[in-house]
Amino acid sequence: MNKFKIGDKIKVKENFWEIENSVHINDEMKKLAGKTLEVESVYDDGDVNTKQDDSKDQTDWAWYKDWLELYTEPSKEITWDILKWKDVLVHNDGIEQMVLRVENDLVDVSGYGDFDIHGTTLHRKELQKNGFTIKQPTPEKLELTLDQIAEKYGVDVTNIKIKK
């Protein structure tokens, strides 16, 4: 089974040219190291073709599967380690307070239910111990037409059945 399929987002490995292979790699290909591209076609052996990431450039690139890895979106979850200005904390009683400033492990938060005033400064661990959690962003809804799904997966739109 192939590791990639049409429409996958893939990342070109850094220093991919150091992986043994018999193909000559030019400087233009080397510029794509670390870039994210979309798979346009997949060969039987799993190697792929992509378009260059610059939409004005119609250059078609052939890649050995060993030079690539699936791209995964970075997590959008907010954690205590990456807490920053304007993040919202929710107390276990449902009242919200906004982060006004983070310095090392100290967090300045707004007033209790009032984002426009300073409330207090607490250590991250104190906030957690006092019943605060981090309000996570609402995930975006993805809307696609059947035609878009058919194009992405390379199937006829009449052969698509949507399950819940």
Decide if 28 is inside a domain: yes
Task: Quote the number of domains for the chain.
Answer: 2
Claim to verify: residue 101 and residue 64 sit in the same structural domain: no
pTM: 0.47
Q: Is the model's pLDDT at 54 over the cut of 60?
A: no
pLDDT confidence of residue 136: 92
Decide if 111 is inside a domain: yes
What angle is formed at CA 42 by the lines to CA 38 and CA 45, rounded to 5 degrees? 135
> pLDDT tens-digit profile of 119-152?
999 999 999 999 999 999 887 777 888 888 888 7
Among 56-60, 90-94, 105-109, 115-119, the least confident range: 56-60
Claim to verify: residue 62 and residue 28 sit in the same structural domain: yes
pLDDT confidence of residue 58: 65
Q: Give the SS3 label for residue 10.
A: strand
Give the type of residue at 26: N
Structural domain containing residue 51: 9-70
Q: How far apart are CA 13 and CA 17, in angstroms?
A: 9
Structure tokens at 29: 């290909």
Decide if 153 is inside a domain: no
